[in-house]
Structure 1
Amino acid sequence: MGDSFFKKENAKKKAKKLKEKAQRREERKSSNNKGKSLESMFVYVDENGQLHDTPPTQERTEINLEDIQLGAAPIPEESPVKTGTVEKFILEKGYGFIREDNGSGDTIFFHTNDLLELVKQQDRVTFEKEKSPKGYKAIQIKKL
């Protein structure tokens, strides 16, 4: 009695696996690193972090230790007096908003208690910024 179809297929699969395994073994043998010189296995890193096969020939640039800054960059000191335009002012409610002239377009809240002289909408003013629980607040407000 002959072998069944499934037995023949399983035998073919086993033979194929053995052949692939032998082929992979031969590839590993041909591409191994045994016998290579130590110099050929080195990789060099330049000052920019790039990897190279050859040692760097370029001279190193000296770095002044005083130029190295540790930690966060210092925040430049801003002048306390700022300028802006009264964007909106509601005298009945006692508050308004000033748009800063620094180009950011930020609006800053102010209260009538912080006015040194009475202002109206579109007036150019000088003021100082103060941090409040809800954001910045303008104080010491004067007309220009």
Structure 2
Amino acid sequence: MADTFNKKQREKKKQKKKREKSEKREQKKLSARKPPEFMYVGVDGNLTPHAPDPSLRKQVSLEDIDVSVPPSEKSAESSFEKAGFVKFLNYEKGYGFIIGDEGDESYFVHVDNLQGPIRDGDQVVFEAGRGPKGPVAEKVKLRA
């Protein structure tokens, strides 16, 4: 007997929630305004639901539109190019370390990034980069 009473109560609650949900849906339909389906770009560049005033438009000629990349001024020296000296280099193991002139930062160098024969203690110039474990020296060559 108790089971049927609880089932009836649950069913009543379920039906009540269903009615409330449908009533809310109907109220929302009646009270809510539909958002505009089409938007215009105004004179100031913002979106607006109203068409912009045609008298405020500016005429743009095709010659005024520049689609290319602006030329950049190339300097002779790379901003990543640094100088330093070879602290350790082992050709058999295939790697070494360079200490930069500006500070005590140590750069890892792989023998594939050497541009000529280099030994321990040589003054070098290189491009600094970032590797998975820290700073890396690339395009390493003797200082002229």
Q: Specify if TM > 0.5.
A: no
TM-score by length of structure 1 reads 0.42
